[in-house]
Amino acid sequence: MAVTETTTAETEGDLKVALKALASDKRLKILDWLKDVKTNFPPQEHGNQVTEGACNLFIVEKLGVSQPTGSRHLKVLVDAGLVVATRRKGWTYYRRNEDALTAVAEQMRGI
C-alpha cells in the first residue's frame, strides 16, 4: 500500500518549537483551514478529506505561494508535531494533530 505517516515531535513536545511553528500568519491560516477540510478545500476524488486531510496542492494554491514554499510551511508544522502528513499513492494529505494542539493550548495556560 505504501502509506506513510509522519510525526516528528511528541504530543508533549518542546513548547518553544510549537510556538515558533505557530508564529506565522500563513501557518495559522493553514491550521484554521484544516479545521474543516470539506468546506475550505475542493473535493478530492482520491483521499478521504475527513480522515486523511487536505491535499498538499490545494493548501499551496490557497496559500498563494509557490509549491516549494507551501511544502516547507507544512513541513514546519509537521516537524513541530502539530500536523500529521499522510503519504499515499502520489499524494500527500495533511490533517491537524488535535492532541498536540490541545496539549500546546494546555501548556499555554501555565505560561
Partner DNA sequence: TGTCGACATAGCGTGTTTGCTATGTCGACA
Partner DNA sequence: TGTCGACATAGCAAACACGCTATGTCGACA
- Please give the residue ranges that form the binding site for its own copies (CB under 8 A): 15-16, 19-20, 22-25, 28, 31, 101-102, 104-105, 108-109, 111
Residue type for position 77: L
Grid cell for residue 25 = 500568519
Residue-wise burial string across 13-35, b where 16 or more C-beta atoms lie within 10 A, e elsewhere: beeebbeebbeeeebeebbebbe
In a 3-state reduction of DSSP, which class is residue 54?
Answer: strand
Which residue's CB is nearer to its own copies, number 19 or number 57?
Answer: 19
Binding site for DNA (CB under 7 A): 2, 20, 24, 26, 55-57, 65-69, 71-76, 85, 87, 89-92
| Residue carrying the nine cell digits 493548501 | 59
- Nearer to its own copies by Cβ, of 31 and 60: the residue is 31
83 binds, among its own copies, DNA, none (CB under 5 to 8 A by kind): none
User: Which CB sits closer to its own copies, 20 or 89?
Assistant: 20
